[in-house]
Amino acid sequence: MSDHSAKSESVLSPDQSASPELANTFNNDNAWNRFKDSFKPAEVSDNDAYHSKTELKDYHELTDMEKAALNSSNTGLKKELTLRHLLMIAIGGSVGTGLFVNSGSSLNTGGPAALIIGWVIVATMMFATSVALGELCVTFPVSGGFTTYATRFVDPSIGFAMGWNYCLQWLILLPLELVAAAITIRYWRDDINADVWVAVFYVFIFVLNMLDVKYYAESEVVLSMIKVFAVLGFFFLGIILICGGGPHGGYIGAEYWYNPGAFSHGFKGVCSVFVTAAFSFAGTELIGMTAAETENPRTTIPRAAKQTFWLVTCIYIVTLTLIGCLVPYNDDRLLNGDSYASVSPFVIAIQNAGISGLPSVMNVIILIAILSVANSSVYASSRVLSSLADIGHAPKFLTYVDRTGRPLYATFVTLIIGLLSFIAASDKQSEVFLWLSALSGLSTIFAWMAICLSHIRFRRALAAQGRDTNELTYVAQFGVWGSVYGLVMNFMVIVGQFWVALFPSGSPDAKNFFSVFLSLCIFVAFYVAHKVWKRNWILFIRAEDMDIDTGRKHVDMDLLKQEIIHEKMALAETPLYYRLYKTWC
């Protein structure tokens, strides 16, 4: 090698012989360039998701439905999420103030028995919905999940209305959770302007969501694991306290189930808990948002859907059973307090036991739970916005995905909406957020109904086109009837919510009613507007006309069926307990 070549090489690739200052400068330049390049558009290559129906046409000759199916299956989102990421993202969105705070008001209105009845009934509905979603996500690992499925398998207008309503829920949840975090701080300091804490938490959430999707998922793993360990710790503490091991001593057992009683406000109380329980599971459907970013959808999504259900259900059922034994439903503190910690049944249970110090620890857990939900809300709303743009239901610029897999512009829109949280210091913030929340109050129920209906229609399309479930790599345990059950139960939740919202205290209350059912009016308005805009006058897409191939990888169907048969034969040779585990978990 010549001296000139050696000199050039030393400049271009500094090694150990180069000066530390030169090496650091070179590395820093590389780091800065990588950071700048990360915001460039993702390099999306045509994948193998084309359907024979579309691959022979020019893109501009495709129908709107064909474009939607194709775009949602070919995005720049990175497939980096694993099983634990999916589990923790779902837990991050579903385990928050619903468990740690709002369960107190449910205990007051329903009683300890109503808590268990309500959550168990809703849990059965959620399992049926979760496995139906799992089947769809494995078959079609596309961006947007169920917002896309409703457009493809039910009706574009329903997909449009449901997608935007669901998006509004998460968009509004971000500022709501940031304000809730500021309120939580009042437990320690109520002399500092709430907007100061909002600014701190806003920057924290902003930074987390500017990370690569894999590192974002890791941050959610940490936040969610803290909640899981807190619940586990409360489980052991609750058993000790019930058995009389607290500082005050005395066996408690099921004393509060007899006095003041197992039920409060009778059947109406049970209905109110039933409705609250349904909303507490909101976020478990986030599994459907992650399909396009999952490493191996075929094996990961079914396990994530089932294990998320069991984990979230166990967290709620076990802890609420303990709460019902430790706190009487007529405790005044369940409804009256100046911070989330002061009305949290977890904190009240610890205070009743006479344990000092732990209430502050529990308040830290509540704060982390709130921030975890806020973090999940940015993820959810940005993915929904991006997917709505992919299928033509939102402005095109929101489809922009950068090289790290972030839907960048959709994330920025979400964070801009999050600036609403700075009204935390206003004395009108409660009123503002009441009506903002009303815009999407029933969106989770609409989403679950859309999942069940999409699954029913997809199975109908398979039958109408002379195909069956043998070509599916994962089949929902309860089949179509599970989705029918989920659809009916979700409708019953809406009926129960109608009664509770219209007659909250025995007499009609218009304000309370519209604070809940305004979202139904918004849904209908979106639905009608899309019908008029697209001149789409059909109620359902005919099963014979559904595209049930775009978005699926090109595979040798005969080979796939052989693999499935081989897997079933191998599973049949395993012990019974293992087969049960693989079937239900």
Q: What is the pLDDT of residues 454-471, one digit of tens each?
A: 999 999 999 999 888 887
Show the domain range for 250.
Answer: 71-554
What's the token pair of residue 2? Answer: 């010549």
Mean pLDDT (the chain, rounded): 80
For residue 181, the one-letter residue type is A
128 located within any domain: yes
68 pLDDT band, cuts 50/70/90, is: low
Q: Which residues contact 535 (CB under 8 A, 6 or more apart)?
A: none
In three-state secondary structure terms, 267 is helix
* pLDDT confidence of residue 472: 83
Q: What is the pLDDT of residues 31-48, one digit of tens each?
A: 667 666 666 776 655 444
Average pLDDT (388-413) is: 86
Is residue 162 within 8 Å of residue 450, measured between CB atoms?
A: yes
Stated as kind and residue range, the H or E segment containing 420 is: none
The candidate with the shortest Cα–Cα distance to 122, out of 304, 345, 284, 254, is 284
Share of the chain above pLDDT 90, in %: 12
Is residue 385 within 8 Å of residue 352, measured between CB atoms?
A: no
* pLDDT confidence of residue 1: 43
Q: Which of 208-222, 279-293, 347-361 has the lowest mean pLDDT?
A: 279-293
Which of 69-83, 121-135, 186-200 ranks highest by mean pLDDT? 121-135
Which has more confidence, 111 or 298?
Answer: 111
pLDDT at 190 over 50: yes
Report CA torsion sign: 329, 331, 333, 336. Answer: positive
* pLDDT confidence of residue 8: 40
Average pLDDT (530-542) is: 88
The candidate with the shortest Cα–Cα distance to 335, out of 354, 177, 327, is 327
Rounded CA-CA distance 386/146 in Å is 13
What's the token pair of residue 355? Answer: 């344990």
pLDDT at 481 over 90: yes
Which of 38-42, 305-309, 431-435, 511-515 ranks highest by mean pLDDT? 305-309
Which has more confidence, 391 or 158?
Answer: 158
28 located within any domain: no
Q: Which of 5-9, 66-70, 449-453 has the lowest mean pLDDT?
A: 5-9
578 located within any domain: no
Is residue 400 within 8 Å of residue 407, measured between CB atoms?
A: yes
Q: What is the total count of domains within the chain? A: 1
Share of the chain above pLDDT 70, in %: 83
Is residue 483 within 8 Å of residue 452, measured between CB atoms?
A: yes
For residue 249, the one-letter residue type is G
Which has more confidence, 556 or 350?
Answer: 350
370 pLDDT band, cuts 50/70/90, is: confident
The candidate with the shortest Cα–Cα distance to 406, out of 207, 249, 575, 236, is 207
* pLDDT confidence of residue 513: 81
550 located within any domain: yes
Average pLDDT (414-425) is: 87
Which has more confidence, 212 or 167?
Answer: 167
* pLDDT confidence of residue 5: 43
For residue 489, the one-letter residue type is M
Rounded CA-CA distance 529/533 in Å is 6
The candidate with the shortest Cα–Cα distance to 142, out of 127, 152, 156, is 152
261 located within any domain: yes
298 pLDDT band, cuts 50/70/90, is: confident
Rounded CA-CA distance 242/325 in Å is 7
55 pLDDT band, cuts 50/70/90, is: very low
What CATH number is given to the structural domain containing 260? 1.20.1740.10
Q: What is the pLDDT of residues 148-170, one digit of tens each?
A: 888 889 998 998 999 898 888 88
CA 447 to chain centre: 11
Q: Which of 47-56, 70-79, 135-144, 347-356 has the lowest mean pLDDT?
A: 47-56
Is residue 11 within 8 Å of residue 44, measured between CB atoms?
A: no
341 pLDDT band, cuts 50/70/90, is: low
pLDDT at 425 over 50: yes
Rounded CA-CA distance 457/73 in Å is 20
560 located within any domain: no
Rounded CA-CA distance 342/371 in Å is 18
Q: What is the pLDDT of residues 255-276, one digit of tens each?
A: 889 988 888 877 878 888 877 7
CA 269 to chain centre: 27
Which has more confidence, 146 or 302?
Answer: 302
Prediction pTM value: 0.84
* pLDDT confidence of residue 305: 83
**What are residue 428's phi and psi, to 5 degrees?**
-105, 5
Which of 374-378, 411-415, 430-434, 498-502 ranks highest by mean pLDDT? 411-415
40 located within any domain: no
pLDDT at 144 over 80: no
Rounded CA-CA distance 17/405 in Å is 37
Average pLDDT (135-144) is: 80
571 located within any domain: no
Rounded CA-CA distance 167/239 in Å is 40
